[in-house]
Amino acid sequence: MQSTSKQFKDNAHHALNDATLQRALLNVKTGFQEKRAQVVAGLPEFEALRDTGRDIKNHVLANLDFYLERFEENVTANGGHVHWCRTPAEAREKILEICKRREAKTVTKGKSMVAEEIGLNEYLEENGVEPIETDLGEYIIQLRHEPPSHIIAPAIHVTREQIAEDFRREHTDLDPNRRLEEPRDFTDEARAKLRDRYFAADVGITGANFLIAETGSTVIVTNEGNGDMTQLLGKAHVVIASLEKIVPTLEDASTILRLLARSATGQEMSVYTSFSTGPRRSEDMDGPEEFHVVLLDNGRSAMLGTEFQDMLRCIRCAACMNHCPVYAAVGGHAYGWVYPGPMGSVLTPSLIGVEEAGHLPNASTFCGRCESVCPMRIPLPKMMRHYRQREHEKGLNPQKARAGLALWSYFATRPGLYRLATRIASGLLGRLGKVNGRFTSLPLASGWTSVRDLPAPEGRTFHDLYRERQAKGGRA
Amino acid sequence: MSARDDILGSIRKSLGRGPLTGEPAAQLHQRLAQPQRNLIPDRTAGRDTEGLTAQFADKSREVACTVDEVDSLDAVPEAVRAYLSRENLPARVVQAPALAQGPDGGLDWSKTPTLEVKTGTSDGSEDTSVTPVFAAVAETGTLMLTSDTATPTGLNFLPENHIAVVRRSQVVGPLEDAWGRFRAARAKAGGAGPEDGFVMPRTVNLITGPSRTGDIEQKIQMGAHGPRRLHVIIVAD
């Protein structure tokens, strides 16, 4: 996928002025935040489980090579195949090769962000294989020729009126009198439409929430059952997963499952958690004839041992974006690549480079809500700060910002001068703003005052007030 | 250099070490051979079978299942018939071969002649399936189903309605207890027990309620692709 992360600012402006998008984004708060808060309140051990989850993943990352080799051994022992791929191109080619060998015309797909990362759908189409998204949200955005805007609710930016238009345009056999208003109407229509596609598919492609080293199993977590039908009914099952999805045992996966659905959708468990191990056994009545795991690196192995290693603990629950005020304001597409929100602001520059996506870590107020809800306790603000620093060191931020920072640091590293300057400025602004208590415009601050008023300072600096309180013996 | 060697090499370079050998590798092998349980929530602790069954039933209802309790396996066919009639569903079911065989000769459908019963997997045309489960997890109202000759996976997903028959003795507290039974039941032939390894079936499905989606404006809709209804019949033996 071609990134537009560099144009984050323009993308964001566009998003803020898109009334339909703004209406759709209202659903983030009621849909996710409240449900998560409720379900977390119902599990006293939740905070302790976050520690355990973090520790499991840290253990895995420190021994990643070992666990990947065990995983491969066990997949092979169960009759499956593991394909190691360094780059998105290698992964795409491997998947196409499997499709070609099976003379596949259509492939059904369960939802996979890694498939987005490698641009799989476009590539398959270019090569004469038709990919069919089966997750309802993914199906909708495939009809709209859009990328997902959220990692677990890909069509959260779309309203039902828009979906009705898409269905009427694309489902040409649809009775014009058929009602398409309530969510139920769309769900039924998509369910009926996709049924035959599952059975006709030559290959079913899914992602994986976990890879289990102990058993060589891949695990998908869904609510719809689409991923299960994809992997059950396709004649071959291909799993595309990135390296860091590995956990040692079924018990370790169970611990992280307690965190995943609660953090994602506010459920205690998602409806379907399915463990796939190899192709159908000779005595089985159903299941795929082949089982392939395409393991993607794409820069992750190089993140180990760096200040960004913690990002590899991410389990893609989306709690960070569900609680991010910036995401809630601009939606996922503004971030310009596959992964939006706070986790995307760290992962995107890690995977496609600071030059391409170094601006994303600026899309944060550092309010810290992302870290406070992250089930894996990933220090997202800290890592965004590291990236801001890198952006600055590489000279990628705008001249104006650099000049401003240089000026600020000149004062900030000279305390006497800083105090003097702020005292003069506060005094001056305090007097000027006394009448209204705020400014509607101010030189050099138009970026702020063009959209809201700036409260006027009361005339004295923080330092002065602090010193005065200390002198009175009050608490600081 | 193969992609495999490249990736493993890159991981080791980043971690600043070579392949693990000796004691560190032995410890990791041990961690896999004898999986330890991590922190387990307290909510199922100290409950006997009756308590766990009640908790399982409550949790199942919370996730939009319907629950019936019957005294014995003999009462299951009538419970199925009554459910279908109550819900205004066609009087046709497809049952898992495991229910036709069973240790006691399988379910006896002769007393419910109005029901059309077939045995096998689903081709997507059936309205309602009836399956056994491997275990039922009280912690979250989750069913554990495993694929096998007599328990094909299609029955869990393709029909519009899924009826699961849970025996009380199959109800466990936390998910880890279900894995414990799973490992023991599937220990490799000739092995001394689960620590000698176990055989994974092609699929293990953990199912918590009927299929749903929130993809349209975050409004939950049941029956996205899998069953719209999940009915649990708990058998008291």
Enumerate residues 166 to 195 of chain A having a beta carbon within 8 A of any beta carbon in chain B. 183-184, 186-187, 190-191, 194-195
Distance CA A156, CA A149 (A): 7
pLDDT confidence bin for A259, thresholds 50/70/90? very high
- Whether residues A223 and B15 touch (CB distance < 8 A) is answered with no
* Mean predicted confidence (pLDDT) in B124-131: 94
pLDDT in tens, B96-111: 999 998 666 799 999 9
3-state secondary structure of B220: coil
Distance CA B83, CA B6 (A): 58
Position B82 pLDDT exceeds 70: yes
- Whether residues B39 and A48 touch (CB distance < 8 A) is answered with yes
pLDDT in tens, A63-113: 999 999 999 999 999 999 999 999 999 999 999 999 999 999 999 999 999
Residues of B in contact with A274 (CB under 8 A): 203-206
pLDDT in tens, A350-361: 999 999 998 899
* Mean predicted confidence (pLDDT) in A203-222: 97
Report the pLDDT value the prediction gives residue A431, as an integer from 0 to 100. 87
- Whether residues B226 and A225 touch (CB distance < 8 A) is answered with yes
B112 belongs to a structural domain: yes
pLDDT confidence bin for A221, thresholds 50/70/90? very high
Chain A interface includes B212 (CB < 8 A): yes
| Rama region for A338: left / alpha / beta (φ>0; ψ in -120 to 50; rest) | alpha
Position A304 pLDDT exceeds 80: yes
Amino acid identity of B177? D
B175 belongs to a structural domain: no
Q: What is the ipTM of this complex?
A: 0.97
Q: Is the pTM of this model over 0.80?
A: yes
* Mean predicted confidence (pLDDT) in A203-215: 97
pLDDT confidence bin for A463, thresholds 50/70/90? confident
What average pLDDT is seen over chain B? 94
B128 belongs to a structural domain: yes
Q: How far is CA B237 from CA A24, B74, B102, B137, B168, in A?
A: 50, 11, 14, 17, 6
Residues of B in contact with A45 (CB under 8 A): 39, 41-42
Q: Cα–chain-centroid distance for residue B69?
A: 18
Report the pLDDT value the prediction gives residue B138, as an integer from 0 to 100. 98
pLDDT confidence bin for B195, thresholds 50/70/90? low
Chain B interface includes A164 (CB < 8 A): no
Q: Which of these ranges, A35-39, A196-200, B179-183, B193-197, has the smallest mean pLDDT?
A: B193-197
Please give, one letter per residue, the 3-state secondary structure of chain A. Answer: CCCCHHHHHHHHHHHHCCHHHHHHHHHHHHHHHHHHHHHHHCCCCHHHHHHHHHHHHHHHHHCHHHHHHHHHHHHHHCCCEEEEECCHHHHHHHHHHHHHHCCCCEEEECCCHHHHHCCHHHHHHHCCCEEEECCHHHHHHHHCCCCCCCCCCCCCCCCHHHHHHHHHHHCCCCCCCCCCCCHHHHHHHHHHHHHHHHHHCCEEEECCCEEECCCCEEEEEECCCHHHHHHHHCCEEEEEEEHHHEECCHHHHHHHHHHHHHHHCCCCCCCEEEEECCCCCCCCCCCCCEEEEEEECCCHHHHCCCCCHHHHHCCCCCHHHHCCHHHHHHCCHHHCCCCCHHHHHHHHHHHHCHHHHCCHHHCCCCCCHHHHHCCCCCCHHHHHHHHHHHHHHCCCCCHHHHHHHHHHHHHHCCHHHHHHHHHHHHHHHHHHCCCCCEECCCCCCHHHHCCCCEECCCCCCHHHHHHHHHHCCCCC
pLDDT confidence bin for A474, thresholds 50/70/90? low
Report the pLDDT value the prediction gives residue A112, as an integer from 0 to 100. 97
* Mean predicted confidence (pLDDT) in A200-213: 97
Mutation choice for B interface testing from A33, A43, A65 by most B CBs within 10 A: A65
Q: How far is CA A416 from CA A74, A410, A419, A423, A463, in A?
A: 66, 12, 5, 11, 11
- Whether residues A44 and B42 touch (CB distance < 8 A) is answered with yes
Q: Which of these ranges, A35-44, A50-59, A456-465, B125-134, has the smallest mean pLDDT?
A: A456-465
* Mean predicted confidence (pLDDT) in B77-101: 96
State the maximum Cα–Cα separation within chain A, in Å, rounded to a whole number.
87
Chain B interface includes A76 (CB < 8 A): no
- Whether residues A163 and B216 touch (CB distance < 8 A) is answered with yes
Residue B199: CB atoms within 10 Å: 15
Distance CA A373, CA A369 (A): 6
B185 belongs to a structural domain: no
Chain B interface includes A384 (CB < 8 A): no
Q: Locate B225 and state its tokens.
A: 């692709």
Contact A108, A134 (CB under 8 A): yes
Q: Which residue of A has its CA nearest to B1?
A: A86
Report the pLDDT value the prediction gives residue A462, as an integer from 0 to 100. 87
Report the pLDDT value the prediction gives residue A456, as an integer from 0 to 100. 87
Q: Which of these ranges, A149-163, A270-284, A448-462, has the smallest mean pLDDT?
A: A448-462
- Whether residues B225 and A304 touch (CB distance < 8 A) is answered with no
Enumerate residues 65 to 84 of chain B having a beta carbon within 8 A of any beta carbon in chain A. none
pLDDT in tens, A173-192: 888 888 888 888 989 999 98
Position B1 pLDDT exceeds 90: no
Provide the domain count of chain B.
Answer: 1
Residue A227: CB atoms within 10 Å: 29
Q: Which residue of A has its CA nearest to B219?
A: A183
Chain B interface includes A113 (CB < 8 A): no
Enumerate residues 258 to 317 of chain A having a beta carbon within 8 A of any beta carbon in chain B. 258, 265, 267-281, 283-287, 295, 297, 301-306
* Domain ranges, residue B107: 50-169+202-211+221-235
Helices A250-264/B175-185 angle, 10° precision = 150
Report the pLDDT value the prediction gives residue A458, as an integer from 0 to 100. 81
- Whether residues A225 and B2 touch (CB distance < 8 A) is answered with no
Residues of B in contact with A31 (CB under 8 A): 214, 218
Residues of B in contact with A35 (CB under 8 A): none
B56 belongs to a structural domain: yes
A346: closest CA of chain B, how far (Å)? 19
CATH code, domain carrying B112: 3.40.50.10420
Distance CA B172, CA B168 (A): 9
| More reliable by pLDDT, A28 or A119 | A119
- Whether residues B175 and A44 touch (CB distance < 8 A) is answered with no
Chain A interface includes B138 (CB < 8 A): no
Position B193 pLDDT exceeds 70: no
Could you give the residue range(s) of every CATH 3.40.50.10420 domain in chain A?
43-298
Q: Locate A277 and state its tokens.
A: 């191990």
CATH of A43-298, one of 3.40.50.2300, 3.40.50.10420, 3.40.190.10, 3.20.20.70: 3.40.50.10420
B157 belongs to a structural domain: yes
Contact B8, A68 (CB under 8 A): yes
* Mean predicted confidence (pLDDT) in B25-52: 96
**What dihedral do alpha carbons A30, A33, A39, A41 form, nearest 10°?**
-120
Distance CA A295, CA B4 (A): 10
